[in-house]
């Protein structure tokens, strides 16, 4: 069953490709398989197409300055304050346990 579906899909794809080429006016390609064009046609289409402008240069953005850490009114902590905080935490842990 899957083999038949696969074969049918390939045939359907080929028929769709053929119909698309026929509708687009490439009947010579469809009927005779001539996908290589002569040099005369390539030169006439190349001359008719305008030249595209080059890509613009990438913009250069200035680098951001490093963020400044501003301590507003911060004072260094003394060891006495840390000792009292440690004692308070130990007391709280004993109360919880």
pLDDT digits (tens, 9 = 90+) for 1-36: 889 999 999 999 999 988 887 787 766 655 555 555
Asked whether the CA dihedral 15, 20, 23, 24 is positive or negative, the reply is negative
Range of the domain at 3: 1-49
pLDDT of 77 above 80: no
Task: With respect to residue 61, please indicate whether it lies within any of the assigned structural domains.
Answer: no
Q: Tell me what the mean pLDDT of segment 35-63 comes to.
A: 67
Other CB atoms within 10 A of residue 22 CB: 13
pTM: 0.30
Q: What is the pLDDT of residue 86?
A: 93
Residue 24 belongs to a domain: yes
Mean pLDDT value across the chain:
78
Mean pLDDT within 79-93: 92
Is 28 within the bounds of a domain? yes
């Amino acid at each position: 069953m899957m083999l038949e579906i696969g074969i049918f899909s390939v045939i359907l794809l080929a028929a769709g490709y053929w119909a698309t080429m026929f509708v687009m006016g490439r009947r010579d390609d469809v009927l005779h398989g001539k996908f290589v064009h002569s040099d005369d046609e390539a030169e006439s289409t190349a001359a008719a197409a305008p030249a595209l402008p080059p890509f613009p240069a990438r913009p250069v953005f200035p680098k951001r300055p490093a963020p400044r850490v501003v301590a507003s009114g911060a004072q260094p902590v003394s060891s006495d304050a840390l000792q009292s905080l440690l004692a308070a935490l130990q007391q709280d842990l004993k109360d919880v346990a």
